[in-house]
A and B are shown apart, each in its own frame.
Chain A
Amino acid sequence: MPLLIQLFLTFAKIGLFTFGGGYAMISMIENNCVEKKKWITHDDMMNVTVIAESTPGPIAINCATFVGCKQAGFIGALVATLGMVLPSFVIIYLISIFLDNFLEIVWIANAFKGIKIAVGILILDAGITMIQKMQKKPLPRAIMLCACAAMLVINVFSLKFSSIALMLIAGVISLIIFMAKDAPAQKGGHKA
C-alpha cells in the first residue's frame, strides 16, 4: 500500500479509537507507529510527547503532524493530520445535526462508562512502557517520582497549577545540574 494511504488510514484508525484526550492516544501511537509500522522510534515518541505538551494545540494533532512529516514531508503531515481529524469530524457533525440528546441514549452512555475505565488503564500502560525504557539513573527517577506525586496532589485537590509549570521546573533543575557538573569539567580540561 502506498505510504500516504497507510499514513491516512493508520491515523484515521487512531482518531476513531482515541477517547479521553491526548495521553490515552500515546498508547495507540506507541502500538501502531512504533511497534507495528516502525515509523518512529520510542525515543522519537518521547520527544514528540514533550514537544506536544509544551506547544499549544491538541496533542493528537501535534503527534500526527510529526509522524506524517517524518515519513513523507509536508504532504505526509497533511495526510496524517487529516486522517486524525476526519473520523471525529464526521461523527460530531452527524451528532450535531441528528442527535439533540446524544448523552441520554442509554447504551451509548453505558458504553462510555466502560470506555472511561479503559482510558485510565491505557494511560497507565503508556506510563509504564515509558518507565521501562527510561534511563535507569537516580536523577530521572527522582524527577519522575516528584512529578508524579505533585501531579497527583494537583489532581486530587483540583489545584490551579498546570503541567506546563511542572515541566518548566523539571527542565530548569536538569539544566542547572548539568551546568554545575559541566563547568568544573571544562575548567579542568583547559588546565590539563
Chain B
Amino acid sequence: MIYLDLLLGFLRVGCFAFGGAYGAIPLIRDVVLSYGWLTDEQLTYMIAVSESTPGPIMVNLATYVGSSQAGFWGAVLATSAVVLPSFIIILLLMIVLKNIIKNKYVQAVLRGLKPCIIGIIMATGIFMIVNNVMNIRAENGFELKALILTVVLAAVMFLPKPILKKKVSPIILIVISAVLGIMVYGIG
C-alpha cells in the first residue's frame, strides 16, 4: 500500500539522515529508487526544485514525492514522516539535556564540538561563495555577473554593521538578491 510505503520510507529518511540534506541525498536516493517512486533523472530534477524553493530540502523532497505518488494526503503523510523523528528526538533530548549538559565531561566535549562546527560553517560559506563565482568542480571558469552580485550583496550585508550599528535582516538580503538576480541575469 502506497501510504504505508510513504510513511515507512520517509520515517527511514528522517531517522537516519545525519548532517543536513546534502549528506542525506544517498539515503534519500536509496529509499526513493528502491520503492520505484522516481527514476534517477526525476530525482535529480526534484532535488534541484527542492533547492530552489524555500524550506528544508528534505521536507520539500518528501512533500514532492508524496504528492506525486499519492496526492494531497500522500504529501501530508510523507512530510510528517520525515519531520517526526527529529521532532521526537529533540523533545526527548530537552527533557534529559538539562542535567546532562552541566556534566563536566559533556561540557568538555561541547567545548570541542562548538569551534568545530563554527569551522565547518565558515568552510561551507567560503566554499559556496567561491564556487558561485569560480565553479571549482565544473572547471568552466569564472562568472563576472556572479562576482558583481557577490560584492554588492556582501556590501549590503556587512557594511551597515560598523557604520549604522544595525544589521541587515537576512530576509531583506534574500529579497534583494532575488530582485538583483532577475535584473542582472535577465538582461542577457
Interface positions, chain B 1-26, Cβ under 8 Å from A, are 14-23
A interface, by DSSP: helix, strand, loop or mixed? helix
Asked whether A17 and B174 contact (CB < 8 A) given A50-B110, A91-B53, the answer is: yes
Contact of A167 among B93, B101, B113, B175 (CB under 8 A): B113
Which residues in B have their C-beta under 8 angstroms from that of A97? 67
A58 near B83 with CB under 8 A, answer yes
**A21-52 vs B, Cβ < 8 Å mask (1 yes, 0 no):** 11110111001000100000000001101110
Contact of A87 among B54, B116, B171, B181 (CB under 8 A): B54
A72 at the interface (CB under 8 A from B): no
Contact of B59 among A85, A107, A113, A140 (CB under 8 A): A85
A3 at the interface (CB under 8 A from B): no
B43 at the interface (CB under 8 A from A): no
Q: Which one of B85, B118, B181 has the highest number of Cβ atoms from chain A below 10 Å of its Cβ?
A: B118
Asked whether A103 and B181 contact (CB < 8 A) given A56-B17, A88-B60, A144-B118, the answer is: no
Interface positions, chain B 57-77, Cβ under 8 Å from A, are 57-60, 63-64, 67-68, 72, 75
Cα distance A120–B177 when bound, in Å? 11
Which residues in B have their C-beta under 8 angstroms from that of A22? 20-21, 56
**B156-188 vs A, Cβ < 8 Å mask (1 yes, 0 no):** 011000000001011101111111111011100
B89 at the interface (CB under 8 A from A): yes
A60 near B173 with CB under 8 A, answer no
Counted as pairs of residues, one from A and one from B, with CB atoms less than 8 Å apart, the total is: 364
Which residues in B have their C-beta under 8 angstroms from that of A18? 54-56
B124 at the interface (CB under 8 A from A): yes
A148 near B87 with CB under 8 A, answer no
Q: Which residues of A contact B (CB under 8 A)?
A: 13, 15-24, 26-28, 31, 35, 46-47, 49-51, 53-62, 65-66, 69-70, 74, 77, 81, 84-85, 87-89, 91-93, 95-97, 102-103, 106-128, 130-131, 134-135, 139-141, 143-152, 155-156, 158, 162-164, 166-167, 169-175, 177-179, 182
Q: A28-B171, A88-B60 are in contact. List 6 more A-B contacts (CB 8 A).
A: A28-B170, A50-B110, A58-B56, A77-B90, A121-B154, A163-B120
